[in-house]
């Protein structure tokens, strides 16, 4: 490893650097550090680097050998493109709704006394530890034509009831939102607990009403949490498979389901690999977006300062 | 208010903008424990009033009730003629400087100070002008673009003061605003606060447990103990005519000399101290024979030849504190030394036999049972 790192170093400095490496290799700390680090390096190589590299390779491998972008062209056209767009749409809808609901929930919890807050957080988070499959079937039972929700609505003579709440986008969004909610609530709750309520008192002492207090003091203080929660649930949603598959219809096919279909039914590994790489890129894009948002926030603050 | 502010070219033009404040029968209990017990006071417009008291005496709670952050169990609060007891904090038109500064971390210094002005709908240019003006007054020119966390504690404190002063609320409440600062900065900011308060004619209610600070700043001081005001008076009155032993002790750490009331003359009460000396004091209504404590401030005692004083003793300690010298004199047979504060030039030497003098007007008697 050391050699490859040193390779591009200009000749004049190379000997010095080499001797530094040799010296540090001789030190006990470096050696035991390498020894301790080795399992993790091996672990990462085997479980992350190798699969990703082989997926990348698969996605550009032609049927008769050689390199090709055919699989990407395929993944980004026709029905496959529609699936990709559906995935993005469902992820966006889910992340927005779960952030809005998460905000209201987290705010309500953050206003409770610590004991009650802990209890409510437990109630919100515990379902997360139940198998997603079980939860999804739970929703299917609740939301069916003769499920609890529709029965109640019918009994209440709500016009239009029973509603179609399953095997369409509503069903998928209900399902995915319930999966993402614990994340957004946890993230937002942590940020909200950190907000110094006395800042609001300070604003009030200067004559700020509730709306101004919220808009000019509270919201800016929790904004980083909102951005984090939105991006996180969006990214988690991108690769989510189970709920859309079970609670959606044909028009809610997501990329993950498409990959499953290509591998399991069509034995089409190259196309699946291309789709996987696209998901990976989208995830990284989401993360970079987060970085960008933070940078913009910081520079806006700097500019506000200027 | 806005037109007044808009037209005022400088601070001087606004002198006398403070409002009077009246509090009566203010009371607050927390789960049965009394935090503030029947506090009543009338504060005049433009007056600087300090709540002075030990920790837990109810100063903050009283201030919070006036500001509207804590709801009183009973009592009435009036700003000017207006009853604000049931009003939300934002509708009371007061200013508040918190001990912890509480600057908005997501805003710059200038934005923080602009906040209350923007709430009042001032034009951008006007906001900028007034922010610049107040920053200059606080010696913070050039700091407008910084974030609060990029400032030192003292600078943050000054920004907090600016933010409360900039919109010229008729009454400003300050809860130990200088508590976290070092001595030098405190002195400097005390002067600034006092100057601004005078120039704008603001009514200020100030909380501290530093008696020196209270004496420097205040027109009147309310000495608080256990949720009650022991005495509400000018600093001079508090010093010269403390109404309770607690007040005498809290302001200047008086000497308490135990003794027995011997008799009354026309002008004085005579007390036989336990170690034998006879001292003349301000008249006290108790009958002769009662046990009393004679309180006298260290700074009000003087030295003289052993034969000339009301009592004699041996100089035990001499400590220089700046231009003053603290001297401990123990009369024969006394349990503890009597503390004196003298100009450094008049310092005795340890072991010297000296006499003590005191003006009878500076010696206040308290019945023995009076709590401290
Ligand atoms: N929120 C509260 N809940 C219960 N008791 C309280 C509360 N706030 C204050 N107290 C009690 O009321 C009394 C007065 O408190 P307060 O904060 O007014 O004292 P203070 O004079 O400001 O003291 P300090 O100089 O330490 O700030 C104290 O005994 C305190 O324990
Ligand atoms: Mg306090």
Residue B41 in this model has a pLDDT that exceeds 70:
yes
**Cα–ligand 1 centroid distance for B89 (angstroms):** 20
Same domain as B230, residue B331? no
Question: What is the dihedral angle through the alpha carbons of B134, B136, B141, B143, rounded to the nearest 10 degrees?
Answer: -30
Q: Which one of B29, B31, B59, B61 would you pick to mutate in the ligand 1 pocket, going by the greatest count of ligand atoms within 8 A of its CB?
A: B61
Nearest-atom number in ligand 1 for the CA of B57 is 21
Q: How many other C-beta atoms can be found within 10 angstroms of the C-beta atom of residue B30? A: 11
Is position B117 within any domain?
A: no
Same domain as B225, residue B307? no
Q: Where does the pLDDT of residue B369 fall: very low under 50, low under 70, confident under 90, or very high at 90 and above?
A: low
Give the SS3 label for residue B335.
coil
Ligand nearest to the backbone CA of B57: 1
d(CA B10, CA B31): 49
Q: Where does the pLDDT of residue B79 fall: very low under 50, low under 70, confident under 90, or very high at 90 and above?
A: very high
Q: Which residue of chain A is at minimal alpha-carbon distance from B168?
A: A206
Q: Which one of B52, B59, B205, B222 would you pick to mutate in the ligand 1 pocket, going by the greatest count of ligand atoms within 8 A of its CB?
A: B59
Same domain as B361, residue B260? yes
Give DSSP secondary structure letters for B226-248. Answer: TTEEEEEE-HHHHHHS-SSHHHH
Residues of chain A contacting B95 with CB distance shorter than 8 Å: 205-206
Maximum C-alpha span of chain A: 86
d(CA B97, CA B19): 17
Is there a contact between A207 and B90 if contact means CB atoms under 8 Å apart? yes
Residue B336 in this model has a pLDDT that exceeds 70:
yes
User: pLDDT tens digit string along B242-284?
Assistant: 888 888 878 777 888 888 888 877 788 888 888 778 888 888 7
Is position B110 within any domain?
A: no
Strand B74-79 relative to strand B82-83: parallel, antiparallel, unpaired? antiparallel
**Cα–ligand 1 centroid distance for B62 (angstroms):** 9
| Pairs of residues, one from chain A and one from chain B, whose beta carbons lie less than 8 Å apart | 67
Q: Where does the pLDDT of residue B372 fall: very low under 50, low under 70, confident under 90, or very high at 90 and above?
A: very low
**Cα–ligand 1 centroid distance for A58 (angstroms):** 70
A304 vs B212: which has the higher pLDDT = B212
**Confidence (pLDDT) at A296:** 83
User: pLDDT tens digit string along A108-131?
Assistant: 999 999 899 999 999 988 888 888
Same domain as B355, residue B217? no
Is there a contact between A202 and B94 if contact means CB atoms under 8 Å apart? no
**Cα–ligand 1 centroid distance for A218 (angstroms):** 27
Q: CA separation (Å) from B309 to A68, B293, B354?
A: 112, 19, 8
Same domain as B235, residue B259? no
Q: Where does the pLDDT of residue B12 fall: very low under 50, low under 70, confident under 90, or very high at 90 and above?
A: very low
Same domain as B269, residue B214? no
**Confidence (pLDDT) at A4:** 41
Is position B147 within any domain?
A: no
Q: Where does the pLDDT of residue B6 fall: very low under 50, low under 70, confident under 90, or very high at 90 and above?
A: very low
Instruction: Name the residue among A202, A206, A304 with its Cβ closest to that of B167.
Output: A206
Q: Of A67-81, B99-113, B150-164, B261-275, which gets the smallest average pLDDT?
A: B261-275
Domain region containing B179: 11-94+169-240
**Confidence (pLDDT) at B10:** 37
User: pLDDT tens digit string along A225-257?
Assistant: 999 999 999 999 998 888 898 898 888 889 999
* CATH number of the CATH domain containing B335: 2.40.50.140
Which protein residues touch ligand 1 with a CB less than 6 Å away?
B 30, 35, 53, 55-61, 209
Mean model confidence pLDDT for chain B: 85
d(CA B299, CA B302): 8
Burial class (CB in 10 A: 0-12, 13-18, 19+), B52: buried
**Confidence (pLDDT) at A237:** 93
Q: Whose CA is nearest to atom 22 of ligand 1?
A: B60
Please, are residues B220 and B63 in contact by the beta-carbon 8 Å criterion?
A: no
Tokens read off for B71: 């709801």
**Confidence (pLDDT) at A5:** 40
- Residue A291's φ and ψ, nearest 5 degrees, are -55, -45
**Confidence (pLDDT) at B147:** 92
Last residue in a domain, options B240, B263, B286: B240
Residue A76 in this model has a pLDDT that exceeds 50:
yes
**Confidence (pLDDT) at B295:** 85
Residue A63 in this model has a pLDDT that exceeds 90:
no
Instruction: Name the residue among B94, B108, B147 with its Cβ closest to that of A205.
Output: B94
Is position B234 within any domain?
A: yes
pTM of the complete model beyond 0.90: no
Tell me which of B79, B91, B119 to substitute to probe the interface with A (most A C-beta atoms closer than 10 Å): B119
d(CA B310, CA B358): 8
Is position B150 within any domain?
A: no
d(CA B234, CA B219): 6
Is there a contact between A196 and B67 if contact means CB atoms under 8 Å apart? no
Q: Which residue of chain B is at minimal alpha-carbon distance from A297?
A: B106
Give DSSP secondary structure letters for A139-152. Answer: HHHHHSTTSHHHHH
Report the percentage of chain A scoring pLDDT > 90: 53
Strand B255-264 relative to strand B324-331: parallel, antiparallel, unpaired? unpaired
A51 touches chain B (CB under 8 A): no
Tokens read off for A60: 């550009």
Cα atoms found within 13 Å of the Cα of residue B256, Cβ hemisphere only: 20
Nearest-atom number in ligand 1 for the CA of B99 is 27
Same domain as B66, residue B40? yes
**Confidence (pLDDT) at B110:** 95
Mean pLDDT value of segment A274-300: 87
- Residue B355's φ and ψ, nearest 5 degrees, are -105, 150
Same domain as B173, residue B88? yes
**Confidence (pLDDT) at A16:** 66
DSSP tag of A278: H
Report chain B's C-alpha Rg in angstroms. Answer: 24
B153 vs B131: which has the higher pLDDT = B131
How far is A282 from chain B, CA to nearest CA, in Å? 31
User: pLDDT tens digit string along A192-220?
Assistant: 999 999 999 999 999 999 999 999 999 99
Mean pLDDT value of segment B50-73: 92
Please, are residues B214 and B221 in contact by the beta-carbon 8 Å criterion?
A: yes
**Confidence (pLDDT) at B114:** 96
Same domain as B180, residue B54? yes
Last residue in a domain, options B218, B240, B262: B240
Q: Which residues pair with B339 in a beta bridge?
A: B328
**Confidence (pLDDT) at A119:** 93
A138 vs B242: which has the higher pLDDT = A138
Same domain as B284, residue B176? no
**Confidence (pLDDT) at B189:** 82
Residues of chain B contacting A221 with CB distance shorter than 8 Å: 105-106
User: pLDDT tens digit string along B182-198?
Assistant: 788 788 888 888 988 88
The ipTM is 0.74
Mean pLDDT value of segment B81-100: 91
d(CA B164, CA B9): 19
Give DSSP secondary structure letters for B259-294. Answer: EEEEEE-SS-EEEEETTS-EEEES--SSPTT-EEEE
**Confidence (pLDDT) at A302:** 62
Ligand nearest to the backbone CA of B174: 2
Residue B286 in this model has a pLDDT that exceeds 60:
yes
B48 vs A130: which has the higher pLDDT = B48
Burial class (CB in 10 A: 0-12, 13-18, 19+), A47: exposed
**What total number of domains does chain B contain?**
2
Residue A13 in this model has a pLDDT that exceeds 70:
no
d(CA A142, CA B53): 63
Q: Of A209-223, A260-274, B356-370, which gets the smallest average pLDDT?
A: B356-370
Strand B171-175 relative to strand B94-97: parallel, antiparallel, unpaired? parallel
Residue A10 in this model has a pLDDT that exceeds 70:
no
Mean pLDDT value of segment A11-25: 66
Domains and CATH numbers, chain A: 2-59 (no CATH), 74-305 (1.10.3720.10)
Last residue in a domain, options B177, B208, B240: B240
Is position B119 within any domain?
A: no
A113 touches chain B (CB under 8 A): no
**Confidence (pLDDT) at B84:** 93
Same domain as B312, residue B202? no
Same domain as B210, residue B65? yes
How far is B204 from chain A, CA to nearest CA, in Å? 15
Nearest-atom number in ligand 1 for the CA of B63 is 18
Q: Which residue of chain A is at minimal alpha-carbon distance from B163?
A: A206
Residues of chain A contacting B147 with CB distance shorter than 8 Å: 301, 305
* CATH number of the CATH domain containing B181: 3.40.50.300
Residue A305 in this model has a pLDDT that exceeds 80:
no
Report the percentage of chain B scoring pLDDT > 90: 36
Q: Whose CA is nearest to atom 2 of ligand 1?
A: B30
**Confidence (pLDDT) at A149:** 92
Mean pLDDT value of segment A269-292: 91
Q: Where does the pLDDT of residue B13 fall: very low under 50, low under 70, confident under 90, or very high at 90 and above?
A: very low
d(CA B202, CA B222): 18
Please, are residues B173 and B67 in contact by the beta-carbon 8 Å criterion?
A: yes
d(CA A165, CA A168): 7
Mean pLDDT value of segment B116-123: 94
Nearest-atom number in ligand 1 for the CA of B54 is 25
Per-window interface: A 194-253 vs B, CB < 8 A: 196, 198-199, 201-209, 212, 216-217, 220-221
Residues of chain A contacting B100 with CB distance shorter than 8 Å: 198
Is position B162 within any domain?
A: no
Residues of chain A contacting B108 with CB distance shorter than 8 Å: 301, 304-305
Tokens read off for A70: 């055919």
Is there a contact between A306 and B145 if contact means CB atoms under 8 Å apart? yes
Is position B305 within any domain?
A: yes
Residues A157, A161, A164, CA angle at the centre, nearest 5°? 165
Is there a contact between B95 and A199 if contact means CB atoms under 8 Å apart? no
Is there a contact between A217 and B145 if contact means CB atoms under 8 Å apart? no
């Amino acid at each position: 490893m050391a050699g490859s790192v040193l390779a591009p170093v200009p000749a004049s400095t190379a000997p010095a650097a080499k001797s530094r490496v040799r010296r540090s290799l001789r030190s006990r700390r470096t050696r035991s550090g390498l020894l301790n680090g080795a399992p993790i390096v091996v672990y990462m190589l085997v479980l992350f680097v190798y699969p990703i590299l082989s997926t990348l390779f698969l996605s550009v491998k032609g049927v008769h050998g050689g390199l090709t972008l055919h699989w990407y062209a395929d993944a980004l056209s026709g029905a496959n493109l529609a699936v990709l767009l559906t995935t993005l749409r469902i992820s966006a809808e889910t992340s927005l709704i779960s952030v809005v609901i998460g905000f209201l929930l987290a705010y309500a919890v953050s206003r409770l006394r610590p004991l009650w807050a802990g209890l409510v957080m437990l109630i919100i988070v515990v379902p997360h530890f139940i198998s997603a499959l079980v939860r999804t079937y739970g929703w299917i039972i609740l939301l069916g034509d003769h499920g609890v929700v529709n029965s109640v609505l019918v009994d209440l003579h709500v016009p239009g009831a029973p509603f179609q709440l399953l095997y369409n986008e509503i069903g998928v969004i209900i399902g995915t939102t319930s999966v993402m909610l614990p994340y957004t609530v946890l993230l937002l709750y942590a940020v909200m607990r950190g907000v110094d309520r006395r800042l609001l008192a300070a604003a009030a002492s200067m004559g700020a009403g509730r709306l101004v207090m919220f808009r000019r003091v509270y919201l800016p203080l929790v904004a980083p949490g909102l951005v984090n929660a939105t991006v996180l649930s969006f990214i988690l949603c991108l690769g989510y498979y189970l709920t859309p598959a079970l609670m959606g219809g044909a028009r809610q096919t997501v990329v993950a389901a498409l990959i499953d279909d290509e591998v399991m039914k069509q034995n089409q590994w190259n196309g699946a690999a291309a789709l996987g790489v696209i998901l990976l890129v989208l995830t990284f894009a989401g993360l970079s977006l987060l970085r960008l948002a933070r940078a913009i926030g910081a520079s806006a603050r700097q500019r506000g300062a200027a | 208010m806005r037109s007044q502010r808009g037209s005022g070219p400088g601070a001087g033009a606004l002198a006398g903008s403070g409002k009077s404040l009246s509090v009566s029968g203010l009371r607050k209990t927390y789960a049965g424990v009394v935090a503030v017990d029947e506090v009543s006071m009338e504060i005049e417009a433009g007056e600087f009033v300090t709540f002075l008291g030990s920790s837990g005496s109810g100063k903050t709670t009283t201030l919070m009730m006036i500001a509207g952050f804590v709801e009183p169990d009973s009592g009435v609060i009036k700003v000017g003629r207006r009853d604000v007891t049931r009003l939300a904090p934002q509708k009371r038109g007061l200013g508040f400087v918190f001990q912890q500064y509480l600057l908005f971390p997501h805003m710059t210094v200038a934005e923080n100070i602009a906040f209350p002005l923007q709430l009042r709908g001032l034009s951008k240019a006007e906001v900028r002008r007034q922010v610049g003006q107040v920053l200059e007054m606080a010696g913070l020119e050039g700091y407008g673009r910084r974030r609060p966390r990029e400032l030192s504690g003292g600078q943050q404190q000054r920004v907090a003061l600016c933010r409360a002063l900039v919109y010229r609320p008729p009454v400003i409440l300050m809860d130990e605003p200088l508590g976290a600062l070092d001595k030098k900065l405190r002195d400097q900011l005390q002067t600034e606060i006092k100057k601004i308060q005078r120039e704008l004619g603001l009514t200020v209610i100030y909380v501290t447990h530093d008696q020196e600070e209270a004496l420097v700043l205040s027109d009147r001081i309310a000495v608080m103990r256990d949720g009650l005001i022991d005495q509400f008076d000018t600093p001079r009155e508090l010093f010269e005519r403390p109404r309770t032993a607690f007040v005498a002790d809290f302001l200047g750490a008086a000497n308490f000399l135990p003794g027995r009331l011997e008799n009354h003359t026309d002008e004085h009460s005579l007390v036989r101290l336990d170690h034998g000396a006879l001292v003349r004091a301000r008249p006290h209504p108790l009958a002769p024979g009662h046990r009393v404590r004679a309180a006298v401030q260290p700074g009000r005692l003087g030295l003289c030849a052993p034969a000339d004083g009301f009592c004699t003793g041996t100089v035990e300690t001499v400590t220089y504190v700046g231009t003053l010298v603290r001297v401990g004199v123990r009369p024969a047979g006394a349990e503890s030394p009597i503390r004196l504060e003298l100009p450094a030039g008049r310092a005795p030497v340890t072991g010297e036999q000296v006499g003590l003098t005191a003006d009878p007007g500076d010696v206040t008697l308290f019945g023995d049972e009076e709590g401290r």
